[in-house]
Chain A
Amino acid sequence: MRYVEEFRDPVAAKAVLLAIEALVEEIGATAEKPVHIMEICGGHTHAIFRYGLDRLTPKGIEFIHGPGCPVCVLPMSRIDECVEIAERREVIFCTFGDAMRVPGTRKSLLQAKADGADIRMVYSPLDALEIARRNPEREVVFFGLGFETTTPSTALSIQQAAREGLGNFSVFCNHITVPPPIKALLDDPHMVLDGFVGPGHVSMVIGTHPYDFIAETYGKPIVVAGFEPLDLLQSVLMVLRQIRDGRAEVENQYARVVPEHGNPVSLAAIADVYEPRPTFEWRGLGEIDASGLRIRGKYAAFDAEEKFSVGYGAGPRIVAEPEGCACGQVMTGRIKPTGCPQYGTGCTPEMPLGALMVSSEGACAAYYQYGATDDTLEAAE
């Protein structure tokens, strides 16, 4: 077994789709009165459109695309701070490719690179560590970005740098956590949600219990899901079954990868290196309490915010989002990407205004790239 193709089997998918159809009918969900299922994770959003699952599932299911794309929720001010750090002559700024095109107030990292900043795309923070070892005369800064899935990798890299005494390595920490924004969304009176498809790779780190409040306090079903199309379809089916039965539980469709209690080594590394910030700004969602992480004092030498005096330590910074950008409303499911007046006109993948158009996981980019709203796709069939 290679754990990929088996979960992309179209024959098996057909059976799940038929079961989903039957269940949607049994529940009585229709296009006018659909069940609203939020896939929290941007990876799921991408997979839904990549495999055309939105068109294959019945009209009685409406997917709401959640805030789980770390690039999309990154506020502009943080990109500005990245550019500020990256433009220092002594700095080699290392980042995942995802962040390169996100617009800042002045420029994106891609533009900063064109203007002469030494910005390098890497696949892993380990690669940034290696760059730091090879360039002892330069300051190597890694743009730590992502949810709990990615947090252990930067925590372990900081621990490794500390062990080696690699004084020229630091992390610009923008790690965020999944549960607080979900709670914020559930507390939003405008939000209509019947259930969740939970983030599989975040959960392999934190386990399934951090979602207990969704079922227990808010009475909503959640199924932690894998990323292959069959995983997603099966998870949707499991959510629908809970809805039909009137249950609200945390279920785990992705048990081959997600242990109930997460990964102890990863959790220990996170706890050792990071602590919650009192509050962190999310693009479109505003400040959310205890939703971001910062590097603990004992690792201050590896904290780019400390080293370069930028970020939350450096005083209040209010940066307005670009005018007319409705990323926040899209992210909270209040409007569809196409409901934004800028969609496809003032905001396109070529000239993104808001972050949801930048990352391929962003709902707007996925709509645009895969023609999600294009009825002619079906009409032409």
Chain B
Amino acid sequence: MCLGIPGQIIEITDADRLMAMADISGVRREVSVACVATPNLNDLLGEWALIHVGFAMSVIDADEAEKTLEALRGLGEAQETLEAMAEGTAALEGAQ
């Protein structure tokens, strides 16, 4: 349900009607920024937003994204540690 895709706000096209141009992997589409409007619309320039049916629905929080990726990296590191330990044990066993 609800196909949404990150796009970057690159231009305010109609401030009165709260419309802006979003760039999604090189595809441009005019979207409404009504849901994420700031007092000065230009503050949105360069921001990434979740685009759904022609509306910017939520500005993407870069810090939160980083935290999520950090947690994922943490899992990877934990896994490496486990693997290293397993290899170490195997090496020890092999040496016996």
Q: What is A's interface to B at a CB cutoff of 8 Å? A: 1-4, 6-7, 9, 11-12, 14-16, 18-19, 41-43, 68-70, 96, 123-127, 146-147, 149-150, 152-153, 156, 160, 199-202, 204-205, 227, 230-231, 234, 237, 253, 255-259, 263, 265-266, 269, 361
Contact = CB atoms under 8 A, between A and B. Distances in A.
Given A201-B52, A204-B50, A263-B57, A43 B68 contact: no
A16 B72 contact: yes
A200 B6 CA distance: 13
Interface in B47-96: 48, 50, 52-55, 57-58, 60-62, 64-69, 71-73, 75-76, 78-79
Contacts, number: 135
A12 B72 contact: yes
A125 B53 CA distance: 7
A160 B60 CA distance: 25
Contacts of A257: 4, 50, 58, 60-61
A253 B75 contact: no
B65 A125 contact: no
Interface of B: 1-6, 17, 25, 29, 32, 34-37, 48, 50, 52-55, 57-58, 60-62, 64-69, 71-73, 75-76, 78-79
A361 B1 contact: yes
Q: Which 8 residue pairs are nearest across A and B when measured between Cβ atoms? A: A124-B54, A149-B2, A15-B76, A256-B65, A201-B2, A3-B6, A255-B64, A256-B64
B2 A234 contact: no
Given A96-B53, A256-B60, 8 more contacts: A9-B72, A12-B73, A15-B79, A43-B1, A43-B2, A199-B1, A257-B60, A265-B36
12 contacts: A3-B65, A125-B53, A146-B2, A150-B52, A152-B55, A153-B52, A156-B34, A160-B17, A199-B1, A234-B68, A257-B50, A361-B1
